[in-house]
Amino acid sequence: MKNSLGMLLNTLAAMVESSPPKDAEQAKFFSTLEYEAARINGELVQLLSLYRMDERTLVVVIDEHHVIDIIEEQIARNDTLLRSRNINIRLDCDTDLGWYFDNELIGGVLNNLIVNCARYCRNQLLVSVTEENGFLCIAVADDGQGYPESMLLGPLPQTTVSFSSGNTRLGLLFARKVLGLHKSKKGQGYMTIANNGPLGGGVLKLYLP
The pLDDT of residue 6 is: 67
Cβ(185)–Cβ(119) below 8 Å: no
Cβ(121)–Cβ(147) below 8 Å: no
Partners of 63 in beta bridges: 101
| Identity at 6, one-letter amino acid code | G
Cβ(127)–Cβ(140) below 8 Å: yes
Whole-angstrom distance, CA of residue 25 vs CA of residue 150: 34
- The CATH code of the domain that includes 70 is 3.30.565.10
The pLDDT of residue 96 is: 96
Q: What is the pTM of this model?
A: 0.79
Place 36 in a pLDDT band, splitting at 50, 70 and 90.
confident
Residue 198: CB atoms within 10 A of its CB come to 14
Whole-angstrom distance, CA of residue 182 vs CA of residue 208: 7
Cα atoms in the 13 Å half-sphere on the side-chain side of 89: 26
pLDDT tens, 101-157?
999 999 999 999 998 898 899 999 999 999 999 999 999 999 999 998 878 755 444
pLDDT tens, 6-31?
677 677 777 767 777 777 777 777 77
Query: What percent of the chain clears pLDDT 70, i.e. is strictly above it?
Result: 88
Whole-angstrom distance, CA of residue 204 vs CA of residue 38: 20
Place 170 in a pLDDT band, splitting at 50, 70 and 90.
confident
- Higher pLDDT: 59 or 107? It is 107
Cβ(127)–Cβ(203) below 8 Å: no
Q: What's the number of domains the chain is made of?
A: 1
Q: Which of 162, 151, 161, 142 is nearest to 191 (CA)?
A: 151
* Residue range of the domain that includes 196: 2-208
Within 29-123, strands assigned E span 63-66, 88-92, 98-101
Whole-angstrom distance, CA of residue 182 vs CA of residue 200: 30
